[in-house]
Structure 1
């Protein structure tokens, strides 16, 4: 696809977004989408979907799902993880994460770097999103596949994320679990020069 063609498709997406009605003009959107195939259709649909979520145009986002935008696991698009994509594209938007969860986004599906959405939220310090994912049933003790078997608690300890770390402890994260190098969350916090977090983790371990 040429650069000019790509710009034209994004312009169409912007026009549809700015001038759509509530509920969205389904026939008009379908007309534009029906003229495109493969990557071009996916590009227009993706641009519409994420910008609809950005501006809280929930009905338009729902229409994009009806038109085929995948928010559940797809063998055709295994690198896509809508919850992680949302945090990457829109950053700290608990309202968007809640909407995606309500519409079937999978909270244990891993992203291209093999992180779960909970890991992604923890590493960025998105506390409210962490709460949403835990409430949905996310595995609090899941380990990374390619990053030394780190758990969300270990990630919070390494990043100095005290608020997130306390939230994970309150949700019964395994404080004694060790990574591939044999280090637990307290040792990782100490290694990264967060002695107050290391002390907090050890105190919690003693109370268990």
Structure 2
């Protein structure tokens, strides 16, 4: 908000005129804070700072001589909206400047109102631009995060499918292990039986040969 204070700065020539005519100003009170603030906004911590910018801005463009701003300060310093306060401020203003009239004060008021509106519009425009920039940045970051999350979800899904496939392969392997004995048992049994038969055949053959050998030695 402070960057908008330059909207309140007056040209140097006007500032000099204002300084030279300072003795003609209606006595000001330091209490120039605006009344009637929205109570619902009192919890906004930035409200006092921004109101202070508006009020100091108005003070900085106070036109030379007695005008609406001096009248405004006098009424607000009195702290009352009574008719007597307005009439007293008006009479004291006339003692400072005999040309003061209701019409001139109302016309001057439009000048200050227009400056307030200029600052408000500038602040609002820049504030909304910043909000739009923040919104765009947030949208861009959200899109990136969503894209990253989608990629991670796809990778997790792929890993889960790989795990399912590996678990199925493991189960099939365990089944094959269980069936392994049954698969090779017939062949193993056959070989074992043939080995036993071989042993028996050898013994029988040797017995036959030895029997003939003994007959030769005995009968010849």
Of structures 1 and 2, the larger Rg is shown by 2
User: What's the TM-score once normalised by structure 2's chain length?
Assistant: 0.16
Q: Which has the higher contact order (CA 8 A, sep 6+)?
A: 2
More helix by share: 2
User: What's the TM-score once normalised by structure 1's chain length?
Assistant: 0.17
